[in-house]
Amino acid sequence: MPYIDIFNGDADGILVLHQLRLTNPHKSRLITGVKRDTKLLQYALSTHDSVITVLDISSHANREPLLQLLNQGNTIHYFDHHFAGKIVENSLFHSHIDTSPSVCTSILVDRYLEGKYRLWAVAAAFGDNLHSSALQLAESLKLDLKKTEKLRELGELINYNSYGETIDDLHFSPKTLFMALHPFADPFDFIETSLELKHLRRGFRSDMRKAGEKHTLRQSSVGRIFLFPNDAWSRRVSGTFINQVARESPELAHAILVERTDGTFLVGVRAPIARPYGADTLCLKFSGGGRVAAAGINHLAPEDIECFFDTFEKQF
């Protein structure tokens, strides 16, 4: 029977698929994209009578193609932690969805696999900015600080690579990065030998230096909003940057606007870490989506910016 793996191109999506395929290896067609390219099921609509695994993308955002694929006789295994809306009821649909703010998809699969490849889940949780959850997993494995820090960097670098308007913005396509780490059961072996990771480390440091020169666009008692220019480095570093400033000020909400080539803005939102709710609610009002703690908008029109600012203030 044909197999298809559909996964988010960020650290959580790549590393959750890695956990599953280490446990149950088989050849499959891979469908993925940049982090914000979440409507991925549309690229599998010609599929019939196959087994499809979907990882780390919202079922709400993919509802229509999901229903079509089920009607075409496909068995679908769905693991996710984003806003789901009404869960589909179908005997061919096997869902593992939990939108709690302290979990990512890799943590859901870690539970499903009973911790078999937990080291990779630790890295994924760090990449998804769930540091507290990542540290709890690391403690369960009795990892020392040095190893924990290596997994933190691994997750954050893979996640950094996922941000861009198109694949051309990225250092590596998510598919390439998945195939590079796929032979490794132990993440520390990958960390020590990976040329891809060395490349990402250099790119990350260069991009973050540029980001450090940017100043706050707006600041209030509820949060801070940043504006980045229409450059590839801005898009690459936007997620890592907003995660970093969110950790620095856990009582505040944060948003980053990155100008796109078409004049609209790519928006990332982080709810206060101390109160990790409301990011998805805010972004859904502007045709965006995500999860309760972190969400985004793919195309915010210039004329909607002031409305976004006002809604941000009211939400948080």
CATH number for the domain that contains residue 262 = 3.10.310.30
167 and 232 both lie in a single domain: no
pLDDT in tens, 175-191: 999 999 999 999 999 99
In a domain, residue 208? The reply is: no
133 and 156 both lie in a single domain: yes
What is the predicted pLDDT for the residue at 215? 80
Whether 139 shows a pLDDT value over 80: the answer reads: yes
What is the predicted pLDDT for the residue at 212? 87
In a domain, residue 74? The reply is: yes
237 and 122 both lie in a single domain: no
Instruction: Please state, rounded to an integer, the average pLDDT across all residues of the chain.
Output: 96
109 and 237 both lie in a single domain: no
256 and 121 both lie in a single domain: no
pLDDT mean over 57-68: 97
What pTM was estimated for this model as a whole?
A: 0.91
In a domain, residue 178? The reply is: yes
pLDDT mean over 43-67: 97
pLDDT in tens, 246-274: 999 999 999 999 999 999 999 999 999 99
pLDDT in tens, 145-178: 999 999 999 999 999 999 999 999 999 999 999 9
CA diameter of the chain: 56
**Domain count for the chain:** 2
10 and 156 both lie in a single domain: yes
Instruction: Provide the β-strand partners of residue 37.
Output: none
In a domain, residue 82? The reply is: yes
Distance from C-alpha of 274 to C-alpha of 80, rounded to nearest angstrom:
23
1: confidence class by pLDDT, cuts 50, 70, 90? confident
Q: Identify the residue whose tokens are 């496909």.
A: 74
146 and 279 both lie in a single domain: no
pLDDT mean over 32-42: 95
Whether 45 shows a pLDDT value over 80: the answer reads: yes
What is the predicted pLDDT for the residue at 213? 85
Whether 214 shows a pLDDT value over 80: the answer reads: no
What is the predicted pLDDT for the residue at 224? 97
Distance from C-alpha of 89 to C-alpha of 67, rounded to nearest angstrom:
10
- Domain boundaries, position 77: 3-201
Q: In the chain, what is the straight-line distance between the N-terminal and C-terminal CA atoms, in Å?
A: 48
* Residue % of the chain over a pLDDT of 90: 97
DSSP the chain: --EEEEE-SSHHHHHHHHHHHHHS----EEE--STT----GGGGTT--S-EEEEESS-TTTTHHHHHHHHHTT-EEEEEE-S---SPP--TTEEEEE---TT--HHHHHHHHTTTTTHHHHHHHHHHTT-HHHHHHHHHHTT--HHHHHHHHHHHHHHHHTT-SSSGGGSSS-HHHHHHHHTT-SSHHHHHHH-HHHHHHHHHHHHHHHHHTT--EEEE-SSEEEEEE-SSHHHHHHHHHHHHHHHHHSTTSEEEEEEE-TTS-EEEEEE--TTS---HHHHHHTTT-EE-SSEEEEEEE-GGGHHHHHHHHHHH-
200: confidence class by pLDDT, cuts 50, 70, 90? very high
In a domain, residue 227? The reply is: yes
> φ and ψ at 297, to 5 degrees?
-130, 130
Whether 29 shows a pLDDT value over 80: the answer reads: yes
pLDDT mean over 124-134: 97
pLDDT in tens, 87-128: 999 999 999 999 999 999 999 999 999 999 999 999 999 999
In angstroms and rounded to an integer, the radius of gyration of the C-alpha atoms of the chain is 19
Q: Which two tokens stand for residue 245?
A: 């400033």
pLDDT mean over 52-75: 97
161 and 62 both lie in a single domain: yes
Q: Identify the residue whose tokens are 């709400």.
A: 60
What is the predicted pLDDT for the residue at 91? 98
Distance from C-alpha of 271 to C-alpha of 222, rounded to nearest angstrom:
10
> φ and ψ at 134, to 5 degrees?
-60, -40
* Residue % of the chain over a pLDDT of 70: 100
